[in-house]
Structure 1
């Protein structure tokens, strides 16, 4: 695809035709027939501006009609206070008006003063209370009269995304783009990310093409948007399609950053057979002068661990420490799994000890790996100590695999009493004995010459539908 021509952004004057001015009467009212009480409006504004904070609200209550502040008056008062946004927003909450027009007016007041969190919160409430396309229409109609900021429409899009109403958000984007208004890049990124999460990476890519596929663009995508697409493809297991995104990055002359490479590395390292491609990406990243972060290091270390290249994994670990990048729990877990995979229990236990010293807690899967290797080498008592230490920490619960490894290890050594105690503990945790456990006990008792128990266990296995030769 040819690179697009760079056009200067046009001012958002197109909002003038999109957002007609509103008079001080029916268009400011939720009820077209309700004229705001000008005396009430002017008196309220005067009280709010001139009285101290402690007395203004009691003074205001004294002049309000029995039914409270009408919505039409609320909007007029908000307009009169728009240069004092904090006071205006306090009045909005005081008024308890929750009609759509009042919400939009308050959102405009916040937006024009760059009070982004407040404006977004108001629009979220409006979306929650008024599930209607009229929110956008009302926001557009009141835009000019409040001298609002264009990003107020981006905030409405984000409010719809927060409410998981992506179709509404996309519809608003299309309405804006039909008037030559493009959402801000962070908003576009949120749209693409939401579409990808809800409907898959193909939906995110389709939305990207709609937003940036034209050759007549005023806004070009940035690296964050491409990273969102790459991550969505990775999470969908479509890392083989990343070249499509890299072509788009070249089209827009967008340079990758460290996150880009981390996602690309994850895609090739997870495959387990593409470590050479991972090395090429690593070298490409270095050639661009991009320093790897902890995510990139962890991904590459895991790649080497998956292929059993532990010397290179350890070398990367040392490089990381030399670069003053603190290892994470994930770093240690990758190394432990890698050493266990190649049968290097000594190195695995050294890393495990180092990990505990640094204050990290191993996940149950990593503990299982260590126990497996210990039991295979007859170090069952040491494995039991590891399990007991892990069980002391809050939140750790042994897995079936942990118990099976230890039971198998004790049965192999003929220590049937210890194995039986562990099996009882295992049952207490809700893990019923399966064929693997039965076989371990059968073989253990057979080695001990206890044929009576062997026969009894084999009968139990047959009754449970398990098969074991006597």
Structure 2
């Protein structure tokens, strides 16, 4: 017995009573002989006439309106000619002949799904939900799809498409309810669909709610845990088990929420479930360890990858390079950078930014500038925060003119918006060198960018004028600073 027949049998069972039961009039009810003749004629025109005359002839049969029930029955006769059914559906839309309802939409959705015309089926579901936009529409369409499933000889993934459309439309609650109804009937959405759903739930409702949904939909609750591990569920049907992408999805959600310990917990559960991690799995765990400064654990994971012959990708390398740069061990980060080149993986802008920030962090200005210039030669666009660190370090080392050139290059070539700290560092540097006019120009530019002067900047200007012997200017600035502080 094929999975499609099994699914059809399960779907054909009536839905459980619902206080909000939707009464659906199926389009497969008995028609009058006149209507049957009309439908038979329409089917004959569609299947036997040439494409050029087909649509004009059909229009004479239905000059004003094509009832949605007639559309459904005609389309059902075309289920073995899905492309023709699709053209028929598109024709009714272009002529605005048929006021489609959820029942007529469900027919064409099933026929397209049956023919594996995924994108067209997906778009038809989307159109159905848009044209009947109410909170209950997804559940109405689900029930109609269930009731018409067998007659249309549909494919199980039609429900995955419905869930995907709901997720794209941010109808997450409807996606959860539809998934629950499928699971209650012994049918599971595809693992990729569940992964997408869990990710969306985490983003909207938080990781804790996502974790509950994850355990519920993959049937990982304690009393059914052993059944799930064997892969069998209710009524003898196989339960969809979480795959490596499921665990990666959830680890990513935890990591993005700052729940580092939860990442390790999911990693351990992946191991218990007998699921082999991939390079991205290791990258996520290593990233979690890096954030916690656990670089020894990162190296252990890296060695484990090598033993398992899992090839690290650019994400993995960037993650561990960033981790070592963060703790100031730039030498070790450079070793991984060189290893990247040896194994044929090209560095990205993130690679260079990690190294630049790492060198800035240990105040190795020569190396920071060297790597920064190398990044620019490769036409990578630096982040404003990277430019800020280089400018501030150069100013701190007394290389204000060079810092100014870096700033102008970042603004002119990459349209970067310098950070407030960059302006402050440059103003301090110019004032220290007694170049007050240039400092004032930067101050005006800084104000034009929306930044405000603080007491520290005032003190720098006051000190600069005092050292130049301009006591009058220094005193005026002291008064201005006091007035500014009083009004702030």
TM-score normalized by structure 1? 0.92
Which one is further off, 400-409 or 291-300? Answer: 400-409
Correspondence for 2:400 among 370, 376, 380: 380
The equivalent position to 1:239 in structure 2, one of 260, 271, 281, is 260
Query: Residue 422 in 1 paired to residue 436 in 2?
Result: no
Provide the secondary structure at the position in 1 that maps to 2:150: coil
1:402-421, aligned counterparts within 5 Å? 402-421=422-441
Is the aligned partner of 1:72 residue 2:79? no
Structure 1 residues 151 and 440: CA distance shift in structure 2, 3 A? same
Do the aligned partners of residues 172 and 32 (structure 1) sit closer, same or farther apart at CA in structure 2, a change above 3 Å counting? Answer: farther
Matches within 5 A, 1:383-398: 383-398=403-418
Matched, 1:188 2:184: no
Instruction: State whether residues 290 and 320 of structure 2, in contact with CA within 8 Å, keep that contact through their aligned partners in structure 1.
Output: yes
Equivalent runs, 1:199-348 vs 2, <5 Å = 199-212=205-218, 213=220, 214=224, 215-216=226-227, 217=232, 218=238, 219-271=240-292, 273-348=293-368
Residue 102 of structure 1 and its aligned partner are, at CA, apart by: 1.3
| Alignment CA distance shift 1:380-1:26 (3 Å) | closer
**Larger helix fraction of residues:** 2
Stretch moving more, 48-57 or 313-322: 48-57
Structure 2 residue 122 is the aligned partner of structure 1 residue 120? yes
Aligned length: 454
Matches of 2:412 and 2:452 in 1, distance apart? 23
**1:119-160 deviations in whole A, cap 9, x for unaligned?**
111112222333322111100111111100011111111111
What is aligned with 1:134? Answer: 140
Partner of 1:464, secondary structure, is helix
After TM superposition, the structure 1 stretch with the greater mean CA deviation from structure 2, 432-441 or 418-427, is 432-441
2-structure distance, mates of 1:327, 1:245: 30
Separation in 1, partners of 2:155, 2:344 = 44
Q: 2:8 aligns to what?
A: 15
2:27 matches 1:28: yes
Distance (whole Å) between structure 2 residues aligned to residue 12 and residue 345 of structure 1: 69
Asked if structure 2 preserves the Cα contact closer than 8 Å seen for 1:411 and 1:440, the reply is yes
> Whole-Å Cα distance in 1 between the matches of residues 43 and 156 of structure 2?
26
Alignment of 1:358 onto 2:339: no
Matched, 1:431 2:451: yes
Which moved further from structure 2: 130-139 or 69-78?
130-139
- The equivalent of 2:19 in structure 1 is none
1:88 alignment partner, one of 57, 60, 85: 85
In the aligned structure 1, how far is the partner of 2:10 from the partner of 2:155?
Answer: 16
Summarize deviations over 1:339-381 as a string: whole Å, max 9, x none: 0010011101111111011110111100000000110111111
Distance in 2 between the 1:308 and 1:400 partners?
Answer: 25
Mapping of residues 166-185 of structure 1, within 5 Å: 166-185=172-191
Against the structure 1 CA distance between its residues 12 and 63, is the aligned structure 2 distance closer, same or farther, given a 3 Å change threshold?
closer
- 1:60 alignment counterpart: 58
Unmatched tracts of structure 1, length 5 or more: 1-7
Q: Which has the higher contact order (CA 8 A, sep 6+)?
A: 1
Q: Which residue matches 2:369?
A: 349
The DSSP-based 3-state class of the residue aligned with 1:203 is helix
How far 1:424 sits from its partner (Å)? 1.4
- The CA RMSD over aligned residues, in Å, is 2.3
1:9 Cα deviation (Å)? Answer: 10
1:14 CA drift (Å): 4.8
Shift of 1:18: 2.8
